[in-house]
Amino acid sequence: MNDYYATLGVDRDASQEEIKRAYRKLARKLHPDVNPDAEASDEFKRISQAYEVLSDPQKRRAFDMGADPYAQAGAAGYGQGFSFSDIMDAFFGGTAAGAGRGPRSRQERGQDALLPLEIDLSTAVFGGNADLVFDTAVVCPTCHGGGSRPGTGTRTCDVCQGAGQVQQIQKSFLGQVMTTRPCSACRGYGEVITDPCFECSGEGRVRDRRSMTIKVPAGVDSGTRIQLSGEGEVGRAGGPAGDLYVEVRVRKHAMFQRQGDDLHCSLELPMTAAALGTTLPLETLDGTRDVDIKPGTQPGDVITLKGLGVTHLRSSVRGDLHVHANVRTPTKLDAPQQELLHQLAKERGEERPEAKFQPVNHGLLGRLRDAFAGK
């Protein structure tokens, strides 16, 4: 009886990792591609045979109980029953692609879907509901995802006998190498649909139009994606549906421009109103609000209405509404009006005002430009 432990140079209580490491070390030294010597080739066959027995828990258990799997074969040479997956496992710590797998499930997860959704600014600020209508894959109403015509079913594949895979033995310089691949007759399912459903042609799903109402959270902006789990396309054979992603685009508002969670608008004031001050009504997204114009308001001054901006996406806190004052200077005056302004200038000592030139405040102008550009 062979002593496979001695052949690999390991103890009888060696772990699988120790056995694998010992075989890998010897194989790299004795492999015919590395050492063409005839004795080395024979030794390589012996260590390969030893590894095949000791790496298989059942064969190792039988050997430990006194049964040598190769005793009746007269210590047949390397290659008989030694599969490609054993070599892969020894050298790379893995198995050959597809080895050990059974028939795969006919069901597959459906694809994710992406839909555009256009909303107005009010919905973006407060949230709301939106209706969607779209074409997608749904479970076949005739076969209910099974893929077979009603009253029929599937049969076991004649080629792979339900295994979903077939094995092929080829000769190589290592001996007989066994490879495993999915069965081409049943595509790896192990079963064949004998009479496919006439409506879905065996797919278990069909294209149909769906409509649904979704909740749009307050605070969304253009580019925000809303994920709806399990609302995407149904998978093959009635498999689980993918996810539906709804990408939001907010339409431009006639009055307000958005910057983050704040809203901006411009108010054009007559020179007299800016000088004397006044109160003007403004139709905001929350209804009519009064805007107090303080006496002496200058061009570019900003009046802020707290809490009338956009709701933050993940909280109930809202931004502000900023009103940018734009003082309008009259360009056409009749004689009485000119006389009044001359009298005012005289009273204020401004008939010949001293010119005061100052550097442009790029910070203020930049912020205003960005605000009205929606940046």
Which residues fall in the annotated binding site for Zn(2+)?
140, 143, 157, 160, 183, 186, 197, 200
305 contacts 289 by C-beta, under 8 angstroms: yes
| Structure token digits, residue 264 | 């901006």
Nearest to 8 by CA among 49, 40, 68, 56: 49
What is the enclosing helix (H) or strand (E) of 340? helix 335-347
Strand, helix or coil for residue 353: coil
b/e sequence 41-54, b meaning 16+ C-beta within 10 Å: eebbbbbbbbbbbb
Q: Position 103: which residue type?
A: P
Distance CA(58)–CA(314), nearest Å, equals 59
Distance CA(249)–CA(115), nearest Å, equals 11
For residue 289, the cross-strand partners are 282
Work out the burial of residue 219: count CB atoms within 10 Å of its CB; fewer than 13 is exposed, 13-18 middle, 19 or more buried: buried
Distance CA(22)–CA(10), nearest Å, equals 7
Going by the annotation, the residues of the binding site are: 140, 143, 157, 160, 183, 186, 197, 200
Give the count of beta carbons closer than 10 Å to the beta carbon of residue 291: 17
| Structure token digits, residue 150 | 């009603």
Side-by-side strand order, sheet with 257-259: 257-259, 262-270, 321-328, 302-305
The DSSP code for 238 is G
Phi-psi label, residue 346: left if phi above 0, alpha if psi -120 to 50, beta otherwise: alpha
Distance CA(134)–CA(151), nearest Å, equals 32
What is the enclosing helix (H) or strand (E) of 191? strand 191-193
204 contacts 236 by C-beta, under 8 angstroms: yes
